[in-house]
Structure 1
Amino acid sequence: MSREEVDLAVAKGLKFLRVKQLSDGGFECLFSQSENCANDALEEFNEGDKKSSVVVETHSIFPATLIGHSLFFLKENQEAKNILDRIADFLVSNRNPYGIWRHYTPAHQYEHFIPNDLDNSSMASLLLKNLGVTTPDNRSLFLSNRSPDGHFYTWITLRLQWNSNPNYWKSLWREFRHPIGQYFFWKIMPCAKNDIDAVVNSNVLNYLGESKETEPVVDFIKKVIEQGKEETSDKWYGRPILVYYFFSKNMTSENSKLKALKPILRNKILANLKRDGSFFDSVLDTSLAIIALENLGYYDDIPTLSVRFLLDSQQTAGSWAKWTIYYGKPDRTASFGGEEITTGYALEALFRLKKDFFTNEKGSESQ
């Protein structure tokens, strides 16, 4: 394995993403609906009482946001910069008033019925901020969407709790315009207006930063890890590695109040290292594990074999295999993901490792 091999893999991956980026700057996403089973591999099958169908979503906002966060580490690369510029335009064009987003673009048939949410809004806001794009100040709107104990609600929606923020009320105009659609959304979907999800709160914390207002979120994250509630703390991110990855984004600073959790997350991740260098169940999981260890400051614990695994797993087109990155139901029978998202994370993992890998003893031994 050489520096040139990593560079070639990155170049091929970026070319794949450039070709796959949609005309509006977004990215496709696969949506799987299965019966009686999870379908993390996003494959269609019909095996007795276990069935799954997969459709291509072209009007989802979140995939572009996730890919953008990964490519931000490659922003000095002209190919990556071009993709990022188009993602930024895509997010700005689909931003709702007051700097918030929902899961679908206006072109999607269900866009009017799905409320704005803090997961999409925090992730998109942070990416645009990092890219230097001026956005409306939405901090007060975020802070007004909290429970009495200080946790952030997932949905920006009407609930039986007084809210004095005028932008909160103004943001509900579509909800008021489509009361029947809203009724059926909350009736049919496996979510509630008072949902409080751990990863969503973690993403909000990553955007707003640690402060007096976000202290309850810090405590929330600590309890999830210390009590081993990774798989039940969030309706949309039902695998432990997803929780570790998103939580780790809040632990990149040595001054973080969450730094005591770093060795705990490290041990949980390394406990899922396999003999071939992969982590957990997939290429996506392996990429997320590598990135999380980087975020936590444990670069030296990432095996050379894991880098080899990522390089050998790259497909001919320059992509990496699809796998679920988030779910549409807590029982994991509805899932989202795709080669584009996996490729974004694999590129981030390889690029960040490359900066250190070939300048120490471990790197020189591998060449």
Structure 2
Amino acid sequence: MSDLVSLSLRTAALEAVDHGLDSLQESVESNGAWPLEWHRSTGPAESKTPPFLTGLGMLALEVCDHCQARGILSRSRDFLVSSMKYPGLWCWPPHPLDLDSTAVCALALGPHSHPWMFFGRSIPRILSCRDGRGRFPLWTGRLGPFGIPDDNNYDPVINANVIAYLGDRAETRPAQRWIESLITENRVSDATSTWYAPMDLYYFVSRAIRTGEPAFEGLRAILPARIVSASPGNALRVAQAVSALCVLSDTTHVDFLRRCTEKLIDMQQPDGGWPSCEFTRAPGGVRIHLSRALTTANCIEALTRLTRPCNAHPGD
């Protein structure tokens, strides 16, 4: 996509990537855990290090072929393996096992990272969680946090992540149709419960199109217009918009991509990182999750994708 931006803007973007990696190198812990900030009604609370956040960061950073990025990914991979539960499931401690963490971490590790992943040991368990409409919930069991039933947890972003992991198969097609109807009918905001913004869904659906082909193939034509019309504001959503358009190989919104690139460069902070942004919330909205490291990784992803030649690893 590098031919869509000027040489000066491309140079500035590459410099921003290098500076961002310096910041990320300092932020990610030596054991591979990515730092999280979270807020509740009483104010900021202590940082946690859920595997889910590490998996999200890895998925964003894997596009960057830089020695610093490879080092961060290596120790992050070790952290995910150490936190995996039999038969290839993850949780957000201290909560029960959940499908969003499982799908994201499994995608980040890849099938060759562990025998459980290679043989798909977790897949029957994941498929058994579907509701009568074929949708995937957040929790792997009926009970959510605190041991109480939680039925209101069918977020389309969670379903997109599970589909990205499982791919296009008969068992995932009802969930695909549900997400497709939400996007085509502009009903995304009414359906999200754990994730924040429609842009989150567009970003992760674009990933599912790439990793779960031919999943969501019917959305390929409509997604670019939805992404542009979402008018992303903060650094995380601007980065998601750029990455999604690049993954979709969209060249019809060049001015939008240029404006987003300029905005990301302007938003970068003096130490190379980007500001913390909300990405998910606890069920019931009792807690908001933010991560400066995740925002930084997503901005690095966006600028990396935009500055690569159009023929470099298509769709990666």
Task: Identify the TM-score tier after normalising by the shorter chain.
Answer: 0.7 to 0.9
Counterparts of 1:306 and 1:61, CA distance in 2 = 29
Residue 24 of structure 1: which of 3, 7, 31 is its match? 31
Q: How does 1:176-187 map to 2 (within 5 A)?
A: 185-187=146-148
Match among 116, 123, 128 for residue 139 of structure 1: 123
Give the match for residue 59 of structure 2. Answer: 69
Corresponding position of 1:289: 241
1:53 aligns with 2:43: yes
| SS at structure 2 position matched to 1:155 | coil
**Greater fraction of residues in helix:** 2
Alignment of 1:82-101 (within 5 A): 82-101=71-90
1:212 alignment counterpart: 170
Match of 1:352 among 305, 309, 312: 305
Give the aligned residue type for 1:217: A
Contact 2:166 2:212 in 1 (8 A): no
**Stretches of structure 2 lacking an aligned partner (at least 5 in a row):** 1-7
Tell me which stretches of 4 or more aligned residues in structure 1 moved more than 3 Å.
Answer: 252-255
Any unmatched runs of 5+ in structure 1? 35-51, 105-110, 160-181, 273-278, 360-367
Match of 2:19 in 1: 12
Give secondary structure in 1 for the equivalent of 2:208: coil
Residues 57, 254 of structure 1: alpha-carbon distance in 2 compared, 3 angstrom cutoff? closer
Task: Describe the superposition over 1:149-193 as per-residue Cα deviations: whole angstroms up to 9, x where unpaired.
Answer: 32223211157xxxxxxxxxxxxxxxxxxxxxx7x7144xxx715
Question: Which residues of 2 match residues 245-256 of structure 1 at below 5 A?
Answer: 245-252=203-210, 256=214
| Percent identical | 26
Provide the C-alpha distance between the structure 2 equivalents of 1:158 and 1:329, rounded to a whole number of angstroms.
Answer: 14
RMSD value, Cα: 2.4
TM value normalised by structure 1: 0.75
Cα offset, 1:300, TM superposition: 4.4
Number of residue pairs aligned between Structure 1 and Structure 2: 299
CA contact (8 A) 1:186 1:192 kept: no
Which residue does the alignment assign to 1:258?
A: 216
Deviations 1:185-242 (A, max 9, x none): 144xxx7157322111111000010011211111111121123221122311131111
Specify the alignment match of 1:115 in structure 2. Answer: 96
Report the counterpart of residue 268 of structure 2 in structure 1. 314
CA separation of 1:299/1:336 partners in 2, compared to 1, >3 Å: closer, same or farther? Answer: farther
Q: Distance in 2 between matches of 1:142 and 1:235?
A: 20
Contact 2:25 2:72 in 1 (8 A): yes
Distance 1:118 1:8, change over 3 A: same
Higher relative contact order (CA 8 A, sep 6+): 2
Displacement of 1:262 in angstroms is 2.7
Provide Cα deviations, 1:110-130, integer angstroms capped at 9, x if missing partner.
x1xx11000000110111116
Of stretches 56-65 and 11-20 in structure 1, the one that deviates more from structure 2 is 56-65
Q: Distance in 1 between matches of 2:127 and 2:91?
A: 18
